Amino acid sequence: MPLVDSHCHLNADRFEGDLDGVVDAARLAGLERILVPGWNVVSSERALDVVDRHPWLDAAVGVHPHDAARVDDAAWAGIVAQAVDPRVSAIGETGLDYDRVFSPIPDQHDNLRRNLILALETGKPAILHCRSAGGGREAQDALLAELRTAGVGGPAWAGVFGDRPQGVVHSFSGPVDYAQAMLDLGLAISFSGLVFRRGEEASAAVAAIVPADRLLVETDSPFLAPPGAPRSRNAPEWVAITANWLAERRATTRAELGPGLVAAYDHTFPRTRPRG
Ligand SMILES: [Zn+2]
């Protein structure tokens, strides 16, 4: 049964000792596509290293809201240089985090804007992280406003992306009308083990309305272990648990869902190299 993991940090320290074994286990579990996003310059470079070691994987480079205040202009120039690399299929992860404000919110917005510009310039979709504090939606509404200001969904972006999604709402969290607004902009939505957490109940309704060609699933490894996966370290093979949940929400089976997930992944993430 084919599966994808559209977002996992195999470039994190916690995979350094046994990366090959983790990728082998993923392959055995049916994963046919894996995307490894960076969160700053060093982790983006390490995402490229992971893809060198396992060429069927894809990388993304960008700056996470947590790191927004720590990436100066010189470091950003490094991300821009990495972004055109053929191993890179997306820009990110970036976005807004109003929950754990590790970087000041104005810096997060500046960072998001330049990541979005880079996505438009490269034609590679922006991977968007978004969290509000305690059941709120302030960050989601702010993200939507930033996307609209950047022209996402408009003619400039459509001219570059054609019918491909211009961004991915990663590890979805938020109300149904927010999801619908993101879908109206043409974005893809990716679900993680977060859907099993208290306070994320709206995700069940959202899972039912995402068009198949913009539906993705992910682990966000090593974080967000779904029930049944080791809490100490999530890994791509456990994406099956969230895929089963998605299939139930969509009144289908994982066997039927799987090929569509691979097709949506390929539609979303451009790749110029043979997968091998
Ligand atoms: Zn992530």
Integer CA distances (angstroms), 271 to 86, 202, 211, in order: 7, 33, 22
How many Å lie between the centroid of ligand 1 and the Cα of residue 219?
9
What separation in Å is there between the alpha carbon of 8 and the centre of ligand 1?
6
How far, in Å, from the CA of 7 to the mean position of ligand 1? Answer: 6
Q: What is the pLDDT of residue 143?
A: 98
pLDDT at 119 over 80: yes
Sign of the alpha-carbon torsion through 120, 122, 125, 127: negative
Q: With 80 as the cut, is the pLDDT of residue 105 above it?
A: yes
Checking if the pLDDT of 276 tops 90, the result is: no
179 — pLDDT class (breaks 50, 70, 90): very high
Residues 6+ apart with CB under 8 A from 107: 68, 69
Read off the pLDDT band of 68 (50, 70, 90). very high
Residue pair 108/39 in contact by the 8 Å Cβ criterion: no
Position 135 scores a pLDDT of: 83
User: Distance, CA 191 to ligand 1 centroid (Å)?
Assistant: 12
127 C-alpha vs ligand 1 centroid, how far in Å? 9
The Å distance, Cα 9 to ligand 1 centre, comes to 6
Q: What confidence tens digit (pLDDT) does each residue in 6-52 have?
A: 999 999 999 999 999 999 999 999 999 999 999 999 999 999 999 99
Tell me: the pLDDT tens digits for 225-237? 999 999 999 999 9
User: For residue 141, how far is its CA from the centre of ligand 1 (angstroms)?
Assistant: 20
How many CA atoms lie within 13 Å of 68's alpha carbon, on the beta-carbon side?
Answer: 25
Q: Please tell me the predicted confidence (pLDDT) of residue 274.
A: 86
- Report CA(173)–ligand 1 centroid distance (Å): 13
Coil, helix or strand at residue 239: helix
Please tell me the distance between residue 20's alpha carbon and the centre of ligand 1 in angstroms.
20
Give the residue, 270 or 44, on which the prediction is more confident.
44
Measured from the Cβ of residue 121, the count of other Cβ atoms closer than 10 Å reads 13
- Residue 273's pLDDT band, with cuts at 50, 70 and 90, is confident
User: What's the 274 CA to ligand 1 centre distance in angstroms?
Assistant: 25
What is the 2 CA–ligand 1 centroid distance (Å)? Answer: 22
Binned at pLDDT 50, 70 and 90, residue 1 comes out as confident
